A and B are shown apart, each in its own frame.
Chain A
Amino acid sequence: DAGVIQSPRHEVTEMGQEVTLRCKPISGHDYLFWYRQTMMRGLELLIYFNNNVPIDDSGMPEDRFSAKMPNASFSTLKIQPSEPRDSAVYFCASSGIAGGTLSIQYFGAGTRLSVL
């Protein structure tokens, strides 16, 4: 398996623009997580899905952030409108019983977002 795939790897945008981050989880995994990593706060969970259904979105900072998972192989995290304080690295992770190991989260390479 190719692992968790995220796109784009880098995104530079201007304040007020809409940003969409994409994630393809490991095939067979039924949990998908979105994290944000900054120097100040470290790695923080934003939202996670189970079988395409959002389970806990308490980490989503505000209404400007939204996440969807239309099917088992694709998820998006959208920021609209974007602000400079959203600049961070966003990671997607997935987990499941595929490979026989429950609860280990496998991370993608991340999307580095810069909002100017």
Chain B
Amino acid sequence: EDQVTQSPEALRLQEGESSSLNCSYTVSGLRGLFWYRQDPGKGPEFLFTLYSAGEEKEKERLKATLTKKESFLHITAPKPEDSATYLCAVRRGGGSQGNLIFGKGTKLSVKP
């Protein structure tokens, strides 16, 4: 069964304390892994798409990496404004635009 598991469920960091969020997946025919950020009371906001093992993408303090079994979202020197829930999703093969399977997310809190 296709599955996405994110860990930890919640993470508390001090401002400037770097860390990583994990997204483990099992899916038949990966057609993309997506990272989203969700703020309270808002919809998920797209961050990155990764398509193949070894691929990396960066945006400000965030860097996403991908292996054949998992993805990491590395947060370097986080700031309080990075506090949010980070969602990981995978798109299955078959050529369909749909079929995004989401993990339950990691809630990140960054204290000043």
Contacts and interface: CB of A to CB of B under 8 A. Distances in A.
A56 B98 CA distance: 8
A106 B45 CA distance: 7
Contacts of A56: 96, 98-99
B78 interface: no
A55 interface: yes
State the main secondary structure of chain B at its contact with A.
Answer: loop
Interface stretch (B19-27, B57-65, B100-108): B100-108
A105 B46 contact: yes
A interface SS class: strand
Contacts, number: 52
A43 B88 CA distance: 10
Interface residues of B, number: 22
B104 A107 contact: no
Contacts of A104: 34, 46, 49
Interface string B65-90: 00000000000000000000001010
Closest 5 CB pairs of A and B: A107-B43, A42-B104, A43-B102, A48-B98, A107-B44
Interface of A: 4, 31, 33, 42-45, 48, 50, 55-56, 91, 93, 95, 102-110
